[in-house]
Amino acid sequence: MISATETERCSEEAERICAPFRDEYPFEQNFFKTRAGALHFLDEGPRDAAPILCVHGNPTWSFYYRRLVREFRENSRVIAPDHIGCGLSEKPQSWSYRLADHVANLEELVLGLDLRRITLVVHDWGGAIGCGVAVRNPERFERIFVMNTAAFPADRIPLRINVCKTPFFGELAVRGLNAFARAAVSMAMEDSSRMTPQIRAGYLAPYDSWETRIATHRFVRDIPMSPTHPSHATLAAIDEGLEQLRELPLGIAWGMRDWCFTPAFEQMWEERFPAARALLLEQAGHYVLEDAHEEVLPWLRSLMAHS
Per-residue pLDDT tens over the stretch 259-304? 999 999 999 999 999 999 999 999 999 999 999 999 999 999 999 9
CA gyration radius for the chain? Answer: 18
Is the predicted pLDDT of residue 1 greater than 80, yes or no?
no
Complete DSSP assignment for 162-214: HGGGSTTHHHIIIIIS-HHHHHHHHHS-S-GGG--HHHHHHHHTT--STGGGH
Q: What angle do CA 116, 122, 125 make, to 5 degrees?
A: 125
pTM of the predicted protein model: 0.97
Q: Which of 231, 280, 262 is nearest to 132 (CA)?
A: 231
CATH number, span 4-305:
3.40.50.1820
For 63-88, how does the pLDDT look when each residue is reduced to its tens digit (9 = 90+)? 999 999 999 999 999 999 999 999 99
d(CA 4, CA 22): 24
Residue ranges covered by each domain of the chain = 4-305
For 139-157, how does the pLDDT look when each residue is reduced to its tens digit (9 = 90+)? 999 999 999 999 999 988 8
Is the predicted pLDDT of residue 204 greater than 70, yes or no?
yes
Angle between helix 179-187 and 214-221 (nearest 10): 80
Q: What is the pLDDT of residue 163?
A: 87
Is the predicted pLDDT of residue 174 greater than 80, yes or no?
yes
